[in-house]
Amino acid sequence: MSPDPVGIWLIGAWGGVSTTAVVGLAALQHRPASETALVSALPAFRLLDLAEWGRFVVGGHEIRRTGYALEARKLHDESRVFSRELLSGVSGPLDSFDRNVRTGTLLGVGRTIESLASDDARATSGERPREAIERLSADLNAFREAHNLAHVIVVNLASTEPTLDEDLTGLTWQQLSDRLNHNDPLLPASSLYAISAMLAECSYLNFTPSVGSNLPALDELAREQGVLHMGRDGKTGETLLKSVLAPMFAARNLKVLSWVGHNIFGNMDARVLDDPVNKASKARSKDHLLTEILGYKPQTLVSIEFIESLADWKTAWDHIHFEGFLGTQMTMQFIWQGCDSLLAAPLVLDLVRFTEREWRRGTSGVMTHLASFFKSPMGEHIPPEFGRQFELLLAWAAEAAGKSPDG
Ligand code: NAD
């Protein structure tokens, strides 16, 4: 008998990264498709018995009314990704996944994200936080029942929210829950989605810099509910390079004097990040790494600019000024040009596969072994260097496959 299907529930279901992940998944399910860029397809993970691509079913929450075929066509037209042949070959599965998308919540998202919403999402704006949580949880339970799913993994791929005004790290789940019962609008949508997921016994991954489940109270809830969670902010481009290059400067005792990174791109994510309150969350997530790796703080500047004509193509230009032997100053520069959604989508599919595997092991709480996928990984004692983070994943895989870490 074949194993039960597994649900992937995308928050921001029709956004650029979600659409690309869904097109990629449908291609892997229905056509001969390359597994290049999928970490979970590496030989190191072959013995893990990861779920086959064909087992996954997609659903999600959105605040705009559109559809996968339309959004994929836009990516094709504006950013020259996906062949027409690929898109026509996956149109059936895309339509069936569209039918599983439900209206999300706008609570705590801020004005810029609200301005994207269609009427059905705006109509929910009178909901109290507790009512929103109940509705979103009910959507997840209905998805699980309708498709007979063994487990559902919720992935936050929604637009980046403004930072929190209040420090909520001192609250227990009971205290947070009491405040929600009293209609206290303290949490942004990303955290309301995380709570809804956990209450519906789903695991939760946060690919964005928004707060999501990154609160001690929500880790407590995850453990209570026996589910897994991890975040934040997918590490796909410039920060990936920083986490690889900064350890080299440290190991060669080269003193980094300044590190300037300018990022330009033109998709909807960039449009939202053009609002300074949303941008602050992203810039913070990109900037903390160097001090952690180097052990001192060089002068840094991170800029993120919306340049519409570039669409989904992001260019990062980094200028690293450093001091070498006998005080001689030198420079390294790099230019990274990548298609944002195509860099992120395979990682989303990997994260879901690794989470499903860990869920079968019966653990709960933060999945620190997934740190290499995130710019600001959750959990304690996580090394900031990419290489050491990847070793955590390899060690986990060896353990999960029942081998010693040395093979
Ligand atoms: P996008 O703007 O194309 O998609 C975001 C989607 O979320 C939109 O469809 C929007 O309507 C929807 N949305 C917004 N608020 C919502 C809510 N409260 N509930 C439900 N849906 C909501 O952005 P994207 O390029 O797909 O990126 C998605 C997220 O991933 C962003 O937060 C981005 O910062 C993060 N991220 C992307 C990359 C990458 O693309 N390489 C890397 C790291 C992190």
Check residue 220 and give its pLDDT: 98
CA of 351 to the centre of ligand 1 (A): 16
Q: Which residues contact 325 (CB under 8 A, 6 or more apart)?
A: none
Say if CB 264 and CB 314 are below 8 A apart.
Answer: yes
Tokens 């092991």 found at:
361
Residue whose CA lies nearest to ligand 1 atom number 42? 234
Residue 380 has a CB neighbour count (10 Å cut-off) of 6
Check residue 125 and give its pLDDT: 86
pLDDT in tens, the chain (407 residues): 678 999 999 999 999 999 999 999 999 999 888 999 999 999 999 999 999 999 999 999 999 999 999 999 999 999 999 999 999 999 999 999 999 999 999 999 999 999 999 999 999 988 999 999 999 999 999 999 999 999 999 999 999 999 888 889 999 999 999 999 888 778 999 999 999 999 999 999 999 999 999 999 999 999 999 999 999 999 999 999 999 999 999 999 999 999 999 999 999 999 998 888 888 877 776 678 899 999 999 999 999 999 999 999 999 999 999 999 999 999 999 999 999 999 999 999 999 999 999 999 999 999 999 999 999 999 999 999 999 999 999 999 999 998 654 44
Say if CB 302 and CB 286 are below 8 A apart.
Answer: yes
Q: Which ligand 1 atom sits nearest the alpha carbon of residue 273?
A: 34
Residue whose CA lies nearest to ligand 1 atom number 31? 159
CA of 16 to the centre of ligand 1 (A): 7
Residue 166 has a CB neighbour count (10 Å cut-off) of 9
d(CA 269, CA 158): 9
Q: Which ligand 1 atom sits nearest the alpha carbon of residue 117?
A: 11
DSSP reduced 3-state for 284: helix
**C-alpha distances in Å from residue 97, one per residue of 26, 51, 91, 100, 164:** 10, 19, 10, 5, 33
CA of 27 to the centre of ligand 1 (A): 22
Check residue 87 and give its pLDDT: 95
CA of 59 to the centre of ligand 1 (A): 15
Check residue 356 and give its pLDDT: 98
Binding-site residues, ligand 1, Cβ < 6 A: 11-12, 14-18, 61-64, 104-106, 109, 113, 116, 157-160, 189, 207-208, 233-234, 236, 267-269, 272, 340-341, 343-344
Check residue 405 and give its pLDDT: 46
> What's the pTM?
0.96
Check residue 285 and give its pLDDT: 67
Check residue 403 and give its pLDDT: 67
CA of 68 to the centre of ligand 1 (A): 14
d(CA 105, CA 139): 12
264-297 per-residue burial string, b: 16 or more CB within 10 A, e: under 16: bbbbbbbbbbebeebbebbbebbbebbeebbeee
What tokens appear for 291 in the block? Answer: 């001090």
53-85 per-residue burial string, b: 16 or more CB within 10 A, e: under 16: bebbbbbbbbbbebbbbebbebbbebbebbeee
**C-alpha distances in Å from residue 201, one per residue of 100, 126, 175, 189, 196:** 18, 26, 21, 18, 9
Q: Cis before residue 232, ω within 30 degrees of 0?
A: yes
By DSSP bridging, strand 365-366 and strand 228-230 are: parallel
